[in-house]
Amino acid sequence: MARKKMSDNAQKFIETGEVAPQAQSQADGDLREELLGERQADESRIRLTVDLPRSLHRRLNQLALDSGKPKTELVRIIIRRTLDSIDY
């Protein structure tokens, strides 16, 4: 199966870590609502281990407390939305 060509937004994100302004502004409100809103349907999963800087871990902990959602669910939402925002 052939791989989909990487979009310009995806390439920029990989090189600089920046999301295109139009994708970012549109996603900000929706992401906040999704993170703090209802839980998403379950899907089969593959385990991934990631080392986070202490400051990001504290922020993720606080978001988990504020939203009442597990950190794993929040990370899945953040990753999915980031990949969607760069069309990858």
- Residues 29-39 have pLDDT tens digits of 676 777 777 66
Does the pLDDT at position 15 exceed 60?
Answer: yes
Confidence of residue 6 (pLDDT cuts 50, 70, 90): low
Q: Provide mean pLDDT across the span 65-88.
A: 88
Q: What is the mean pLDDT of the chain?
A: 77
In whole angstroms, what is the distance from residue 26 CA to residue 33 CA? 12
- Residues 49-74 have pLDDT tens digits of 999 999 999 999 999 999 999 999 99
